[in-house]
């Protein structure tokens, strides 16, 4: 009788602990698909980060160009007599001109500063165009800064414009 109880108990134990016939864990295909989906997602995140960094750099260049226009305007305000005499007027120049007068030195240092902040190259240029005195009140000036911004993106898969331009207009 004791033997039969042990046999019955063993049978119950064997019946409940028998291996299941269905799948228990994740198969190799499921793991490979999960890794593929995660890899594609990480590539998307990396592409977004690259685009954001590139466009952030473009925005920094734009800000630097505006700062440079105000820098030459401040130099012109400090040397108002030569500015009123249109001594600062220059066509679009990309190479720092030779020094000489205070206005020529200011323009030379301005172009050198443009190259230092926006990158030296044939596309980094500046121009100053001032009109004559308006009833003795002052002169209207237009400062133009141009630089190469081809690394920026205009949209998915399209490079930025090779030459960007910032123009500031003011009255001295």
Cα–Cα distance measured from residue 166 to residue 72, given in angstroms and rounded to the nearest whole number: 14
pLDDT tens per residue, range 53-104: 888 888 899 999 999 999 999 999 999 989 988 999 999 999 988 878 999 9
- What's the pLDDT score for residue 106? 94
User: 100 is written with which tokens?
Assistant: 């000489």
Residue with tokens 């401040």, as numbered in its chain: 74
Name the residue ranges covered by the structural domains of the chain.
28-171
**pLDDT reading at 35 higher than 90:** yes
With 0-12 / 13-18 / 19 or more C-beta atoms within 10 angstroms meaning exposed / middle / buried, residue 43 is: exposed
pLDDT of res. 116: 92
| pLDDT score of 58 | 85
pTM of the model: 0.69
Whole-number pLDDT of residue 22: 65
Average pLDDT rounded to a whole number, residues 141-151: 89
Average pLDDT of the chain, as a whole number = 83
What is the per-residue pLDDT for 57?
84
Provide the pLDDT for residue 123: 85
> How would you write 108-164 as a 3-class SS string?
HHHHHHHHHHHCCCCCCEEEEEECCCCCCCCCEEEEEEEEECCCCEEECCEECCCEE
pLDDT of residue 154: 55
Segment 150-163 shows an average pLDDT of 63
pLDDT band at residue 138, thresholds of 50, 70 and 90?
A: confident
């Amino acid at each position: 009788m004791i033997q039969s109880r042990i046999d019955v108990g063993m049978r119950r134990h064997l019946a409940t602990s028998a291996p299941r016939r269905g799948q228990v864990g994740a198969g190799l295909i499921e793991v490979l698909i999960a890794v593929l989906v995660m890899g594609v997602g990480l590539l998307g995140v990396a592409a977004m980060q690259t685009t954001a960094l590139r466009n952030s750099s473009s925005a920094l260049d734009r800000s630097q160009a505006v700062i440079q226009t105000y820098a030459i305007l401040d130099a012109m305000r400090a040397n108002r007599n030569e500015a009123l005499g249109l001594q600062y007027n220059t066509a679009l120049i990309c190479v720092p001109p030779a020094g000489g007068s205070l206005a020529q030195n200011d323009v030379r240092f301005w172009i050198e500063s443009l190259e230092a902040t926006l990158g030296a190259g044939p596309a980094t240029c500046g121009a100053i165009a001032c009109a004559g005195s308006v009833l003795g009140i002052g002169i209207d000036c237009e400062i133009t800064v141009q630089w190469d911004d081809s690394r920026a993106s205009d949209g998915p898969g399209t490079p930025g414009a090779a030459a960007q331009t910032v123009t500031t207009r003011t009255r001295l």
